[in-house]
Every structure is written in C-alpha cells, then in structure tokens.
Structure 1
Amino acid sequence: MAGRWKHAPTDSHWGEFGADDQRGRMNLVDSAKVLQGIAEVREGKTFCLSLPLDVPGGMTLNPRRMPAQMFATLRDGKSAGVQGYCWSYASEDPDQTDVVCDEVLLMNTQYSTQWDSLAHMGSRFDADGDGEAEAVFYNGYRAGQDIRAAQEDHAAAADWARFPGPRADALGIQNLAEHGVQGRGVLVDLEHHIGRQRQAVGYDQLMRILETDRVDIEAGDMVCIHTGFADTLLAMNRKPDLQLLHATGSGLDGHDRKLLNWIVDVRLACLLADNTAVELVVPKLTTPTPMRGPRLPLHEHCLFKNGIHLGELWLLTPLARWLRANGRSRFLLTAPPLRLPGAVGSPATPIATV
C-alpha cells in the first residue's frame, strides 16, 4: 500500500478508499448525501452551531490551547485595526475618503468550536512489521515525514523552526475543506434522556436512546451528539468553572468495544459533539499492572484507525430543542473548516438548516 505499511492496525480500515486517501469516511458524503441533506430543509430556518470564537475564555479549560488574540496591522509604521488606530487613504491622497481598519488574529486552531483533521492524532504502531513501533497516522502516513511537527521526541515548540512550511504535508485539514462539508446531519439527544450529569454512554444505552427517539443513522450521515456541555460553558460568560464543567455533560464511552465497532459498522461519515472530546475523558488509571493503550481510545479508533473526522465544542442545544419540538432528528449540515494547508485542526462555524 504505497510502501507506507505492511500491517494495518486491528479494527482499522486503512486503504478502504485507496492507499493514498486522505479524507477517510468523508468520502461517503457524495452528491447523493448532499441531496439527502437538502431534502431535509422544510422551513428554511438556520441554526449557528458555533460558540463565539473567544469561548471558553482564557486557558482554564485546556491550558495547551491559546484563546483568540487580535492585533492591529501596521501601515506606514502605524497600527490599523479595531484594537488601535484606523488609517485613512487621505494620508496618501487628500481626495480619498476611505477609513480602514485591519487586524491580525492569533489563536490555537482548536480552541473553540473545531474540526479535528486526520493528522490530529496518530498512534505508536508497528506498521513496518519489523517489531518496532513507530509514530504513524491514518493510512500509514508518518510522523516526522508526512506530519512533520509530530516528529517523535522532537515536537517541542523550540524545534518547530527547523520544519518550515506546512506541518501536515498529509492529512491536513485542507483535504476536508476541499471535499466540502455539506450533507445530512443527524442529531442524537443524550441530554434529553440523561440530563447534564457526567456519564459515559456505551453501546447498549445509545441503542436504547436511538430506538426511543426513532433515530435512524445511515451510511454517510454526519452524526451530532448533544450533551448540553457547550450550552453550560457558554452560560459561564468566558469564565469557565472547571469544577462544574468536570461534573457536567455526558460523552461516548471510548472504552466500549461494541460502541467503537458500531461507529464503524454503521458507516457514519463523521462524529461531532458539543463537549470537549466527543468521548468522555476519564482520569488516567494507576494500577499495579498498567495496560498499554491510548489515552483517548475513541480518538484513536476514529482518527487513526478509520479516518473518521471528529468535531468538538459545537453548540447544539438550540438545534436539539427545535428538532425535538418538531419531531425531527435530521437536517442539512454545512460545516466547512478553513482551507488552511498543513493545519491539523480548524475553527468552524457550522450551520444547520431545517
């Protein structure tokens, strides 16, 4: 398979869409799925599924991710932008009346409502079959070669200057943007059934919820998991209460093998949620005989093994309320990431149309 691997991980689908595929299960969102999504539009009503880009606020929720900062751009040695001095073309020609503000945005691409690209998370796996595990990503793309900022043991910020240009030469978020993210969305309303308590939802409980709400998920659907977490976060007005948030909201149980198998078998295109990781992150366990494995098993299963993009911190509560009140679970979802070559993630402003 393009010489990148001899062995694929257990329960993976490397090569499903070709040895060089970089879009994974989003390949299932074809023209027919776009038309299915459009067919769900009956009212012409839209919902913005994005948090404001400066939410959560600060770095309390995730100390590794920097919030948006805006700086005025410079023109002729002077700043111009909403944060500072607005310049006028009159300085060049007194007959010109334009007054211009301009700015620079600096932020982590996965700070607020976001997409994870397939370059976001890989795993240490013996893809070469030589008995030595190496850091690899979906379809066998390599850390330090195809995803250069992830060069193993050399990923400190001080080393990034040694790798000019795009960080993800393969699997970057631009692949998702260029494919286009528009099709049929399906919402699963966990909050309605279990409230906003912290609970890991496994296969059996999820199937009961789908059956009760008569939610059908078909190949190529983009599945949205509503827990109420983002709504709780938004109400904190950019001052996140970490203790409350850690006790708030459900998530999928990434340790449930039946659930992981179902995610692949149902052939959903992508998995999106209003919490921080789609799966419920559990504290790291300390045992006398620790088990080697991923910290985020659903991330590994989706991004690394099966090419399933993840979306996090989507604001789903207003949409969930409307869908339930109208006896619906499907809608047209339009959610392109930034076409930013080499990025491992992207802010998003998804729109649901019903």
Structure 2
Amino acid sequence: MTARWTNRPEGSTWGDFGADDENGRLNLLTPARVRAAAAEVRDGRSFCLSLPLDYPGGNVLNERRHPPRLFSTIREGEPNYNFALERLEADWTDVVSDDAVLLHTQYSTQWDALSHVGALFDADGDGVAERVYYNGWRGGEHVVGPAGEAHAEGCSPYEGAHAHRLGIEKMAQRCVQGRGVLVDLHARYGEARELVGYDALMRIMDEDRVAVEEGDMLCLHTGFAAMVLAMDRQPDPAKLHGACAALDGRDPKLLQWITDSGIAVLIADNYAVEAYPAAPGQGRHAALPLHEHCLFKLGVHLGELWHLSELAAHLRAEDRSRFLLTAPPLRLPGAVGSPATPIATT
C-alpha cells in the first residue's frame, strides 16, 4: 500500500520493488545476472535483431502509425545537405549533410514502456475505477495527455503528452543487458496461425530443452517479422493478420507461468506478442490481456516486431537457446514506447 493506492491488482508486483518503482522486473537484471549472461558468449558472433525502421511499410497494419519521415535540416534558408561551407567562409573545404526524422516510436522494432498500457482499476478502494498504470501511477497526473490546443504557431494540438512517470527513459537508464532465451515457435508451426497457450509452450520448451530462469529475457520466434521483411515495405494485411503463432493471452495458466517464471521482459517478432484480437473474454475485461498482465500488473516490458529469424537459425544449428542480449531503447524522456536496435551475441 502507498499513497497512490490501497488496492493492488490480484497477482501484481505493485510495491514489491519499492513504493515508487518505475522499472518493474527490470530490477531482476542484477550484476550477477549480467555476468551470467556474458558467460553465454562462445563464438563472439553478433546479430542485429531490428527490422529496418521503415518496415513494415505504409500504415495498413495500424492506421495510427506511419513510417519515419527523414528530411534535411535547413541552413542559410536552404536544405543542409551536401552544403559546401565555402559559402560561409571561402577558405573552408567542408561539405556537410544534416538531417532530422519524424518518428512514430512504435512503428517497427520496438519496446513498450510501462506507461503504454494501463487499466481502469479501483486503486483507491472507493468503488470507482481510475485510469491507473503499473505500481499505481495515475493517468492524468503522472501520465499526462495533450492539452488539446496549439499554443504556438506550427504546433499540433496533440503535443504536450508526456509520461512523467514510467517513461521509456527509465528503461534506457537500466541499460537492458542480460541473458536472452529463445523459443522457436516457427520451427513447430511455420507460418500457420496457432494460438500458443501454456501447455503448448511448455511442450515446445521441453522438447527443445529450453530452460528459463528468473531475470531472463524471453524471446519468441514466430517468423512474422521475416514475412514482413520479405514484403519489401508493401505489407499484405490479409496474409499477415492470419499468420504465424502468437501467445494466447486469455490462457490463465500461461499468464500465471509468466508470473512464476520471473522473466524480466517478454519479446516476440510478431505485431503484439499476443494474438490480437484476443479470444472473447467475459464481463469487463482487457482487449489485450497479456499486455494488461505484463505491463500493468507485473512491470514486464514487451518487445514487438523484433527480427529473430537469423538468430533462431544459428541457435538451432548450434543446439543452443541462450545468448547475451543488449537492447536499450532510446533515452527519450516521457515517451511511452521506443524503437530499438537490439544485439544478440552468441
């Protein structure tokens, strides 16, 4: 119990890492676990686990998210690209290019901050549900939306939104380095759609001799990102929406295993880690039950649309599942998500 809440969600970790914690189960990435992760490096090979950040392409997979817009900065009233500095000083020989980007933070390979998904929950115990995020941080007070009006010329009325708590910069400050463990769902299901619950996941992990320990960063290879990459920025939504394995967020045994396993983060190469839309629920319920369980209740960050196929093939050939994973987000204060360029070292 803290000044922010008298009730915490059943099965949550609220308060377990401190009354004002903003890191969730990243707290489990201790120096000892980082040392253990470094011991997984045997051949020194590195794998980039990010898609190019202009993939999937277009906005047909999510109409609210658009590819990056890369453009030149301005110098002397002109584009600052191939700009010869002799125009400023005759004796200078430099040629300069400088650019900027308008970036949707969760368009491609990404991390979800703990401020990305909260819930309507009666944290006060007064019978009225509030907008609440992990550890009781409040919507409207700690995670603040835009003012709704443009205060300066050229500004959007949607500017001003800011996660004063649980912003992605908290994750960046933790560095996000530890032991990655990969489960290869694609090796079992190919590109076929399959809802993977607890029983199926445990069977696959047992058959592949994959062991998960507290503080590990669990990665699920489904093949979805490889399909996106092959479409060359022209995604086919009809094919992608029914493709590849995804976790069944409605399976209570699976959610309980995520709790009991002690994994620090959960990562997949598909669009939402869990199947979306999820199977129908009962009563008032989350549309994204695994997001609610991980981000809101446990403080487990989610990684989405990672490019895991090359790493998965290498690990399978070597009869391995563990590696060193380094995966910080951008240190962008107040953002609720971030692009990532993770690196696996085997």
> What is the deviation of 1:31?
0.7
- Asked if the contact 1:198/1:246 (under 8 Å) is kept, the reply is no
Q: How far did 1:60 drift? A: 0.9
How many angstroms apart in 2 are the aligned matches of 1:33 and 1:95? Answer: 55
> For 1:204 and 1:150, how far apart are their aligned partners in 2?
43
Preserved CA contact (<8 Å) 1:23 1:307? yes
Deviations 1:17-46 (A, max 9, x none): 001000000110011111111101111101
For the structure 1 residues 43 and 342, does the alpha-carbon distance in structure 2 shift closer, same or farther, using more than 3 Å as the test? same
Determine the C-alpha separation between the residues in 2 that align with 1:301 and 1:253: 12
1:49-92 deviations in whole A, cap 9, x for unaligned? 000010000101111112100111011111113xxxx2122111
CA contact (8 A) 1:199 1:280 kept: no
- Shift of the 32–283 alpha-carbon distance from structure 1 to 2, 3 Å rule, reads closer
SS in 2 for 1:160: coil
Q: Provide the C-alpha distance between the structure 2 equivalents of 1:150 and 1:328, rounded to a whole number of angstroms.
A: 47
1:123 is aligned, of 113, 119, 123, to: 119
Query: What residue number does 2:18 align with?
Result: 18
Deviation at 1:160, TM superposition (A): 3.2
Deviant stretches of 4+, over 3 Å: 157-161
Residue 131 (structure 2) aligns with: 135
- Whether 1:220 aligns to 2:210 is no
What is the DSSP-based 3-state SS (H/G/I as helix, E as strand, rest coil) of the residue aligned with 1:341? Answer: coil
The aligned counterpart of 2:171 is 176
Matches within 5 A, 1:292-331: 292-331=284-323
How far is the alpha carbon of 1:229 from its aligned partner?
0.3
Partner residue in 2 for 1:94: 90
Instruction: Tell me the distance in 1 between the aligned counterparts of 2:55 and 2:158.
Output: 27
Which of 322, 337, 340 is residue 345 of structure 1 equivalent to? 337
Partner SS, residue 352 of structure 1:
strand
> Within 5 A, what are the aligned runs for 1:170-319?
170-282=165-277, 285=280, 291-319=283-311
TM-score, structure 2 normalization = 0.95
Determine the structure 2 residue equivalent to 1:144.
Answer: 140
Change (3 A) 1:159 1:19: farther
Q: Distance in 2 between matches of 1:316 and 1:16?
A: 32
Secondary structure (helix, strand or coil) at the match of 2:178 reads: strand
Code of the residue aligned with 1:259 in structure 2: it is L
Gaps of 5+ in 1: none
**Which amino acid in structure 2 is aligned with residue 338 of structure 1?**
L
Q: How far apart are 1:2 and its partner, in Å? A: 3.7
Change (3 A) 1:187 1:109: same
Give the one of 96, 114, 120 matched to 2:110. 114
Q: What amino acid is the match of 2:271? A: T
Shift of 1:159: 4.8
| Alpha-carbon shift at residue 183 of structure 1 (Å) | 0.8
SS of alignment partner, residue 145 of structure 2? helix
SS in 1 for 2:59: coil
Deviation at 1:150, TM superposition (A): 7.9
- Normalising by structure 1, what TM-score? 0.93
Give the equivalent residue in structure 1 for 2:158: 160
Secondary structure in 2 aligned to 1:332? strand
How many residues of Structure 1 are paired with residues of Structure 2 in the alignment?
342
- Which letter does structure 2 place at the counterpart of 1:198? R
> 1:123 Cα deviation (Å)?
0.3
The residue identity in structure 1 corresponding to 2:289 is: P
Percent identity over paired residues: 56
- CA RMSD, Structure 1 to Structure 2 (Å): 1.8
User: What is the alpha-carbon distance in structure 2 between the residues aligned to residue 71 and residue 176 of structure 1?
Assistant: 28
Structure 1 residue matching 2:73: 3-state secondary structure? strand
| Unmatched tracts of structure 2, length 5 or more | 150-154
Distance 2:29 2:338 in 1: 19
The 3 A distance-change label for structure 1 pair 159 and 94 is closer
